[in-house]
Structure 1
Amino acid sequence: MNTGLSDITHSFRSRGEGVGVSIKHGHAQQLLVAAFGYKTLASYQAAKASAEEPDSFDLVHHLILDRDCLSQRVSELGIECDIEQLSHLLSRAFADRLAHVVLHRSYADLTDHIRKEIEHVVENNGRVTGQIDELNHDGIEEVYSDPEVNFVQLQIGMPFIDSIPGHVSLHRDPERSYTGTKIDFQLSLAGERLGRCCYSSFEYEVTHVLLRAPWEDHMSTPRSSQHRLWPDIDEENDASPVRTRAEVVAELLGWKADEVEGIQDVEEMPLDGNSGDMIYGFLLDFTDYASSDEAARIMQEHGTLQFRVGPDFFDGVRYDGWPH
């Protein structure tokens, strides 16, 4: 469709005239590029010519308003219209042409938007709802996440992917036995920075789910940073090995335990950095262990055959011959 600056400018001026705000075409263009972070139309056009801005707005889904730059341009042009009204007109102009574009007042506003999107994704994720169904609860209290993507540092024109942790808190059901009220998750956020203040649509995928043991609900972070199910064990005996290797490998992949029988013996390679003084994790490489069908499934679901896990990933795993 190739919706460009001239199209948005036309809608912007039309919206303004509809509420009694008359802006010259040239001034309107200057205001629009200022909202995108450029002091002049010429600098915006130069950025576009060097592929630092998209050819059109068709692939843009998120725009972050540069309020300081826009305020300065309003003052320089002597336009009698406040920033809030101009922001509203710009938002409506994009809605007229490209309904999918969301204009954000700041990067904090963008982060809040992402947090709400994550909440929707998590509440509708089958793995999460499956864990919720196993607990005695009285509804969802909160879906918490803390996206920390540094959007201004992302390279323009390069796709990015970031990992975001979070948890689901459930209301406790006082009439049933307590089974825990927190489920931890990890989610990937993927997208692309298309220009100085514009970004593509974002793709979300829940990659790991962890059901906390009931006695760890009060902890901000469970003992294991890895996303695997905690066993239902007696708290007085929680030092004993309680899980099979198949169970932890299955949780890592999001499979059933009986589906990893052929790959559960994958060798763990210690990750000890350059000094070798301390192991900070393990690398599990399924390349030489998975069959062609298993490898294809792992690649389809995770995009890699290599997984980095924490140093306590195998804590509590039954050894051969356990408990003798």
Structure 2
Amino acid sequence: MEGVTSRRVVFVVFDGFQPLDLTGPHEVFHSAGDDYVCEVVAPRAGPVRSVSGLLVHAGHGVADLGPAGIDTLVVVGGRGVDRARQDEALVSWVAAAATRARRVASVCSGVFLLAAAGLLDGRRVTTHWAREEQLAREHPEVRVDCEPIFVRDGPVWTSAGVTAGMDLALALVEDDLGRDVAHAVARRLVLFLRRPGGQSQFSVALWSRQPATDPVRAAVTAIHADPGARHDIAGLAAHAGLSPRHLQRRFTAELGVPPAAYVERVRVEAAQRALTEGDEPVEAIARRYGFTTAETLRRTFHRRLGIAPSDYRARFRSTAEAAHHVSPKGEPV
């Protein structure tokens, strides 16, 4: 558009990168219209092979792309990051570009490249949960928190794996252009929900192990069948056919969390869905999903998600709310 200067977003890739770490955020910025121009840089210009074999053409190599003039630097992740962070030329270029850019972001294990460039000292960051311990062990100067799906610490934004990169990119768009544009982009890309950064990167299916035995499986099934039921240890033990003490021990050993913590997480996720999919009052949702009062639900949301239920509903409703918007490009959505 005439008179509008596009923000320059540069993605850093390398052999063995995760393709969705690139293509997901790239599409988010592209869908925001003329406000962004996206480029791809790699150790060398030309084809770069992803971990799944997909070839992507890097228009620039670090030797021919100066570090100046970049608005947002996005470093993707993937198995190849371990080799990439040993590439001194690439690491030096990332350090120089990040220093000059308005902000820098990483998706998934791309955070290891930022750490190698010395950009994360003293900062709070996140990454894919599977690499949390490695990042903390190798970089004790970094504060690692793998509960959120993305974290902002000053000009540095980091995210969890794969689809969390799209949540991060939507947050960057919202930071630049406002909530309505970010909602319109989410609608255009058929993203069900723009998740807040403080939301856990673990769904119930992912943050716990699967039950290994029928008694524990029976208890888990009962929890998911009716999250709002009482589900005290005596009731769950009756479902499992075990004594309360025996179930407590086996449940924690098999799933990695005690029954009470598991029940709370299931209830929180059920309440999140209810808040974003309908207009039921918060008090009613709290009662239906076992929180008893709206105040208990509010305290639990603040502790687990860093946001109040009412604010969660207002900010992160399903894309049905965005149906009345048009896309940033002026097209119907």
Normalising by structure 1, report the TM-score: 0.26
| Greater fraction of residues in strand | 1
Q: Which has the larger radius of gyration?
A: 1
| Greater fraction of residues in helix | 2
Normalising by structure 2, report the TM-score: 0.25
